[in-house]
Structure 1
Amino acid sequence: MATARRALRLRVTGIVQGVGFRPFIYRLAVSRGLAGYVLNLGGSEVEIYVEGPPDQLASFIKGLYRERPPPARIEELEIEEAEPQGLGSFTIRKSERRKSKRSMIPPDFGICSDCLHEIHDPSTRFYRYYWNSCAWCGPRFSMMYTVPYDRENTAMKKYPLCTECRRDYEDPANLRRFHAQGISCPKCGPRTYVYTMDGKRLDVPDPVEWAAEKIEEGYILAIKGVGGFHLAALATRDDVVEELRRRKRRPSKPFALMARDCSVVEMIAEPPPGACEVLQSAERPILLLPKRPGSPVSELVAPGLDTIGVMLPYTGFQALLLEQVRDGFLIMTSGNETGYPMCTTLKCVFTHLCGIADYVVAHDREIVHRVDDSVLRYTDGELVFLRRARGYAPMWLYAPAELPEMVAVGAELQTAGAVAFEDKVVPTQYIGDMDEPGQVEELERELRWFVEVYSLKPRIVAMDMHPGYHNRGLAARLAEEYGAELVEVQHHHAHAAAAMLEDRVPPGEEKVAITIDGTGYGVDSTIWGGEVLVASYSSFTRVASLYPFRLPGGDAAAKWPVRALIGLMQASGLDEEEALDVLRRYGLLSRDKLPHGETEARVSYRLAAFGKAPLTTSMGRTLDALAALLRIAWRRDYEGEPAMKLEAAARGGRDHGYTPGLLSLDGRLVVDTPGLLRWVLENIDRLPARDIAVTIQRGLGRALGEAAARAARGLDGPVYISGGAAVNTFIVQGARQVLSDYGLEVRIPRRLPPGDGGVAVGQLLVAAAKLGEI
């Protein structure tokens, strides 16, 4: 008796385009003796129709999860019964534009071990082919014009498949290349060229060997990668690193390194357990690791820090290059002129990197989306984002409720935008600082692209309430164009909401959040940055903060931490002469620490004393002040520099247990940072600087933890810590130490940057809640 034939129609969403999913479905169906078809739909989802014996259909469904390609991610699977059509075979059909569901746009994947093996194997046609990729690896988002992910919708459309690649593409038995959209070989793929900085193309037989020789000689090269250009240079020669700093006008911001493999990483750094797996993952992020004592890496690569940022090669070109250089590692930092975005075109390189790079190595595949390297670090043993970009963007996060279609423009520094629809939130890749030329336009391009590919009709546009942010004009323009409501969101409320979203905290539920960073415009028009909030998505109460002090010169105080120290001393009750005596005693009146010396110090003190300077509760500026007093940092050349150096200076220090008390001010608790400053002044001449550094940072964490514990009475945990300073290990340790005594867990964001790169996500949740949409 013939077995009854059934049919199923499936809709799969997730990362299911650009990862060899359709070829996988083909092989899965054929192996089960099923007929039907699979095709990409226009929303980046996949439709599958299968018919055959019920037991084989059941086996097919199990195989979807158990046997899927390594980079594939199934987020949703809808299955419905269908009428059998009597099909005789299984086929991959041409993609369609119709959309029923939206799905994830695949991020860029680092080169896989199989492709690496091929470029090292002389018997394959991919031997020493720099841009080898397959269904499991290679660029995706960075080269996509639109969805669905088909070759004609990517920058690969200009490279018709050669006979051999076409054969692989059409061969169901070819596990990694059957219907893999981005494949190519030396005959049909991107070409690599070498240029002088005046645009002349050089005739170079092997660009990798040539590049390695030039770098070994001390030259600085601009090398085109997946999402933009890098500047490559030796990391072991002080003179080369110093010259790169001079040319880039980048006096102290650390440079990223690229290492050949994990054995080299272990030679230059001290990776904790599991770090190598992170470095070798398909995402290939930069990972901040403790620098190994005696490491050959020049001290000028990350001056004043005890960590170095390291990544592994994620293209064939990079892998071959790192094998050619004797050190086994190089500086591989963003190819941009300071104050401008990373270059993605030769025109940009010849305009903005002229005078920085000596030569250019570039392939001819277009970079459609600029995608910087992602950066992660360990905070109290947890892996957290500093920058979410290549390898992770634009994967979405799930919201705790259905959201209206929305856009958020994010913060001012280190920002990303975001869009929302259904129960999905999609952050853009890291864009950068909005006060830099071209960055607002870049943010606009990316947001418009997401609106278009997801077919959104935004009803809400969210922005920060700071009146001086450069992307507010963009938000207003988008709101007018879309006929959407424009909603302002307080900066720290957005930080709290973004952290809560990761746990899908239900709308209306209140949680306690410690939000600590450099600058956020408060509802009282002062500068916040060291806050304890009781927050839901729709509202918040500010229950505690750091003690407010005046910031003489505003932005100038952010650049020159001694100004912040003067403001903190004034708030701590030191009179003008006492404050000047402290500055003299510790050498803080010299022109390298305060450009106009004693005159500037006196003017700064009087601005604070007469209330002519902005009032702040900023954790960032408080750490800046303490770093200056300890003579650890007295100038900020990049975001977070003094705080990062203060954290580095605390390694190995002994915590003396001092915790500033909590005072009452204006109806809230405030951390007694004036008392903390006085404790430092009492101990600065008798205790090692590292002991003071660890004590004050953990002490601030303990004080905020105590304030949060008091606020959490009657509320369920956990307590969230977010904001740019939430990555500071010692502050987090201090908060955990106290909150664990109250039985409260501390959580910091893990899927989003705790800093301003996550603000846009929080803006979406807050704006929707404020308008009663969730």
Structure 2
Amino acid sequence: MYRAVRIFLVGLVQGVGFRPTINRVAKITGVKGYVRNLGGSEVEIFIEGSQESIDRFFRELSRQLPPYSLIDEITIISDEPRGLQSFEIMKSSRELVNRSMIPPDIAICDECLKEVLNPSDRRYRYPFNSCAWCGPRYSMIYSLPYDRENTSMRKYKLCRKCLDEYNDVYNVRRHHAQGISCPEDGPRLALYTSDGKLVDSSDPLKDAAKLIDEGYIVAVKGIGGFHIAALATDDDVVLMLRKRKNRPTKPFAIMCLNLDIASRLVYFVPPSSIDLLTSPQRPIVLLPKRHDSPVSRYVSPNMDVEGVFLPYTALHYLLLMETRDKFLIMTSANIHGEPMCIDDECVFTKLRGVVDYVLTHDREIVNRVDDSVVRYTDGIQVILRRGRGYAPKWIRLPIDLKRDVVAFGAELQTAGAIGFNDKVVLMPYIGDLDNVDTLRDFEKTLWFFINNYSIDLSKTLLVIDKHPLYASREIAYEIRKKYGSNIFEVQHHYAHILSTLADRGIDLDENIVGIAIDGVGYGDDGNIWGGEVILIQGRNGYRRCGHLEYIPITSDRDSIYPARISSAILISMLGSEAYNIIKKFGLIERLPYGEKEVQAIHNKIIMGDYIRCSSIGRYLDAVSALLGFITYRSYEGEPAIVMEAMSKNWNRIRDLEPIEIRLEDGVAIAKTLNYFIDILGYLDRADLMAKQELAFRIQLELGKVLARIAINELKGRRNMKQIIAVGGGASVNTYIVRGIREVGAEEDIEVILPRRIPPNDGGIAVGQVYATIAVDI
């Protein structure tokens, strides 16, 4: 029986060697027809032949799928035979049948790296080697479908040898691979001084490595942007880089040549971290520092972990090979608060005073994409920043959306999202939108996805955070003005919990309790929230059922000088008696204006001129300052991050009472102000070890008190999922999460965190999309 079928494949099927695999399988099995890319990043296959050959085609295809492909959906439609005499890879079409995944950037594969390191191979020491299985994808795409002419590789015409590989159907890695090149026809390296003067060099890569070894700081163009490369073992170099970047203490990441080199710097705990480091995503992974690490203490001051990652391009590998240490600082090439540079002009203008030299190449970076960052929270793998390797793979929802959605995220460490059908495409990490250049990059990225996923904005729901001052809202209102789109506001912490539920594929068919913990978010009562227990009422919205007690925030300076928050809490609780305590525990010395600043805070408290805030982040800031761990916050979350790093369970403090819970107007309040005063009783006799244990127990107890409030919501109620969903930036804190999990375990309640998206504001847009299933607009 001679028959024909059309097949539509959705998932990660473009940019991973799918069409050449289909072509090869068709030749082997004898079916006739074609395969082509379509405009929604999906693949169409038409085959005809005997029933036996078609069955064999499907069996063989399942055995030979490209290593990084992912078939998420398959549609098979019976068709009429066309009498075709061959099978071919047809020219791609911009027609959109089904929307599919835009391929993320993939680290260099082992086979390509072997070629680069083989002196007899024609690609020996070629910095841009790639194949159908690896290399840049999203970062070099102008538009879909994924074909060479739609990428920044289109200006490089294949030489005869590359063309022979491209046309060889049995060349598994290079047949019809769109991004391939070689030293004869591919991108070129060049070395410049920071003011744009070309350095006469026969080997720019070797010369750049030599300069780095001599203590110079070099910008290096990679896949999704420039890095700044510098010695990680030289204190003077590291301190100079900090001074030039205006980055006093925020940790730098270190790229290591291989696992053996990385093992000199960190412990691979847990063992799964090895698989993570060597995965195609190649994220930066935060791992425990070795006590005998050769890394300068200024690379990650006050931290007990080091951010390490392995080379994900041949360029990076070759550069590290030539250096003395075989590992380097590799940090984003940007000035403070601005996005990473992606072109030479940016480096020569904005980084002229930061770097000494620039190692660049002539392949355009179309889409900026930062390195992804992953950590372990109480043994659970958590993504902190979702960029290269992970984005823009989509998240599948357990229910179809009512319409297409564009979500605008939050303000800090944010990313937007597109929602359609049962999918959410979370855009790569963008950054903090309080900077004009970052906001422009956010808008550019937003339009890339709107255009490539054919989003009809006149029929699309725009979702924004409730905070009236978020810059991303302005873009949404401009779109509404032009296209008549509807806008829907979503409360910040509700969205955090929904992000976790969406990531874990949990339907909103029952009530669910969640804990949202972060720095700040605009609350429904006009106050600042951030330590919340929220009841998700199925698809009928939410109810705030508990929170940390409000603390006074008297100025924007409070987030910079956390001793201000400590002082404000003490003054609000003890009045004028607080002065002696503020002096006794050194808080005055931690304020730029000393006693005058304390007096100004006192006046504001007396007059009621302050904002009420339930944020766990701001509370941790206050505790960190009180314990003397931090004086000045130079990056987001630093006091809490340092406090977590300093925490140790020495088992010396046994009598610290739990945080009290009181019901006020039907809402459970964790009495953290009284608890703050209780801490003072331990500071008189506190050496460093005691302070480290206090820090441990305070974070643990904060998790426990929130969990107790959540458990009280679950007990005895019908139609409740027996889980606690946790989200928000502070939910990456090991000791807070451990406290929540310990209480949950006592009641046999599972505690869940997101696995594929960040729990911080970088993943909040997923929750914003999910929130739309509860509204009819």
What's the TM-score once normalised by structure 2's chain length?
A: 0.96
Counterpart position of 1:662: 661
Distance 1:57 1:684 in 2: 76
CA distance in 1, matches of 2:759, 2:682: 33
Task: Give yes or no for contact 2:630–2:639 (8 Å, CA) kept in 1.
Answer: yes
Distance in 2, Cα, partners of 1:179 & 1:270: 41
Count residues with an aligned counterpart: 764
Partner of 1:473: 474
Alignment of 1:60-79 (within 5 A): 60-79=57-76
Quote the offset at 1:583 in angstroms: 2.1
* Contiguous gaps of at least 5 residues in structure 2: none
Equivalent residues in 2 for 1:125-524 (5 A)? 125-272=122-269, 273-403=271-401, 404-458=403-457, 459-524=460-525
**C-alpha displacement of 1:652:** 4.7
CA contact (8 A) 1:29 1:90 kept: yes
Q: Deviations over 1:384-431 (max 9, x none)?
A: 111101111111111232221111111010000111111111111100
Partners in 2 of 1:140 and 1:500 — Cα distance? 29
Unaligned segments of structure 1, at least 5 residues: none
More divergent stretch after superposition (735-744 vs 496-505): 496-505
Distance 1:73 1:371, change over 3 A: same
| CA apart distance, 1:537 | 5.0
User: Which residue in 1 is equivalent to 2:529?
Assistant: 528
Aligned partners of 1:609 and 1:764: how far apart in 2?
42
Q: Distance in 2 between matches of 1:90 and 1:6?
A: 15
- Comparing 711-720 with 614-623, greater Cα deviation is found at 711-720
- Structure 2 contact 551–673 (Cα < 8 Å) conserved: no
Letter matched to residue 632 of structure 2 = R
Q: Aligned equivalents of 1:506 and 1:235: distance in 2?
A: 47
Question: % of aligned pairs identical?
Answer: 47
Q: Deviations over 1:660-683 (max 9, x none)?
A: 121122431111212321231111
Cα shift at 1:144: 0.3
The SS at the match of 2:474 is: helix
Q: In the alignment, residue 556 of structure 1 is paired with which amino acid?
A: R
Q: Deviations over 1:567-618 (max 9, x none)?
A: 22234x22223x222222222212xx21100110122133124321110000
CA deviation after TM superposition for structure 1 residue 333, in Å = 0.1
Equivalent pair of 1:440/1:474 in contact (CA under 8 Å): no
CA distance in 2, matches of 1:368, 1:768: 34
Is it true that 1:47 corresponds to 2:44 in the alignment? yes
Whole-Å separation in 2 of the counterparts to 1:663 and 1:569: 20
- Which position in structure 1 is the counterpart of 2:576? 576
SS at match of 2:66: coil
For residue 730 of structure 1, report the CA deviation from its aligned partner: 0.3
Is contact 2:4-2:46 (8 Å) kept?
yes
Aligned equivalents of 1:517, 1:325: Cα separation in 2: 41
1:739 aligns with 2:739: no
Corresponding residue for residue 766 of structure 2: 761
The 2-side partners of 1:56 and 1:734 are apart by 59
Amino acid at match of 2:14: Q
Task: Report the secondary structure of 1:289's partner residue.
Answer: strand
The answer (yes or no) to whether the contact 2:189–2:205 under 8 Å persists in 1 is no
Tell me how far apart the structure 2 counterparts of residues 576 and 62 of structure 1 sit (CA, whole Å). Answer: 80
Report the secondary structure of 1:183's partner residue.
coil
RMSD, aligned α-carbons:
1.4
**Structure 2: distance between partners of 1:156 and 1:491:** 41
Work out the CA distance in 1 between the residues paired with 2:512 and 2:531.
17
Residues 184-236 of structure 1 show CA distances to partners (whole Å, capped at 9, x for unaligned) of 00111011111111211112111221111100100000000000000000001
The superposition leaves residues 477-533 of structure 1 with CA deviations (integer Å, 9 ceiling, x where unpaired) of 112222111111111011111111123332453211100000000011000000000
Give the aligned partner of residue 546 of structure 1: 548
1:658 to partner: Cα distance: 4.1
SS of the aligned residue for 1:400 comes to: coil
Decide whether the 8 Å contact of 1:488 with 1:767 is kept in 2.
no
Superimposed CA distance per residue, residues 127-161 of structure 1 (whole angstroms, 9 cap, x where no aligned partner): 00000000000000000000000000000001011
**In structure 2, what is the equivalent of residue 751 of structure 1?**
756
Write the mapping of 1:532-611 to structure 2, written as runs, cut at 5 A. Answer: 532-535=533-536, 536=538, 538-553=540-555, 555-571=556-572, 573-577=573-577, 579-590=578-589, 593-611=590-608
Partner of 1:685: 684
Q: CA deviation at 1:326?
A: 1.7
C-alpha distance in structure 2 between counterparts of 1:751 and 1:151, whole Å: 29
The one-letter amino acid of 1:575's match is G
CA contact (8 A) 2:369 2:388 kept: yes
CA distance in 1, matches of 2:75, 2:648: 51
What do residues 678-718 of structure 1 show as CA deviations (whole Å, max 9, x unaligned)?
23111123351111011000011010110010112321121
The CA distance in 2 between the partners of 1:396 and 1:441, in whole Å, is 23
The AA in structure 2 aligned to 1:501 is A
Per-residue CA deviations over 1:450-494 (Å, capped at 9, x if unaligned) read: 111111113211111111111111111112222111111111011
Q: Which one-letter code corresponds to 1:433 in the other structure?
A: D
**1:98 CA drift (Å):** 1.2
User: Structure 1 CA distance, aligned partners of 2:54 and 2:420?
Assistant: 32
Q: Displacement, 1:74?
A: 0.7
Once the two structures are TM-superposed, the CA of residue 769 in structure 1 deviates from its matched residue by 2.1
Q: Given that residues 33 and 48 in structure 2 are in contact (C-alpha distance below 8 angstroms), is that contact kept between their aligned partners in structure 1? A: yes
Post-superposition offset of 1:85:
2.5
How many Å apart are 1:768 and its aligned residue?
A: 4.4
Partner residue of 2:703 out of 701, 704, 723: 701
* Partner Cα separation in structure 2 for residue 219 and residue 541 of structure 1: 56
- Once the two structures are TM-superposed, the CA of residue 269 in structure 1 deviates from its matched residue by 0.5
Native 8 Å contact 2:255 2:329 kept in 1? yes
Secondary structure of the structure 2 residue equivalent to 1:58: helix
- Shift in Å at residue 61 of structure 1? 2.0
Confirm or deny: 8 A CA contact 1:508 1:538 kept in the other structure: no
The 1:64/1:480 distance shift into structure 2, 3 A limit, reads farther
| TM norm structure 1 | 0.97
Return the letter of the residue paired with 1:68: L
Q: Is the 8 A contact 2:377 2:733 kept in 1?
A: yes
Choose which of 102, 112, 117 in structure 2 pairs with 1:120: 117
Letter in 1 for 2:533: V
Could you tell me which of 613, 617, 620 is aligned with 1:616? 613
Partner of 2:54: 57
Q: Is the 8 A contact 1:653 1:693 kept in 2?
A: no
Quick check: 2:510–2:721 contact (8 Å CA) kept in 1? Answer: no
Quick one: which amino acid aligns to residue 765 of structure 1? Y
1:565 touches 1:626 (CA, 8 Å); kept in 2? yes
Q: Equivalents in 2 of 1:538, 1:232: separation in Å?
A: 51
Is this contact kept in 1: 2:567–2:587, CA < 8 A? Answer: no
SS at match of 1:390: coil
Judge conservation of contact 1:279–1:285 (CA < 8 Å) in 2.
yes
Determine helix, strand or coil for the equivalent of 1:516: strand
CA drift of 1:328 comes to: 1.5
Rounded to whole Å, the distance in 1 between the matches of 2:63 and 2:750 is: 34
Between the aligned partners of 2:605 and 2:258, the Cα distance in structure 1 is: 52
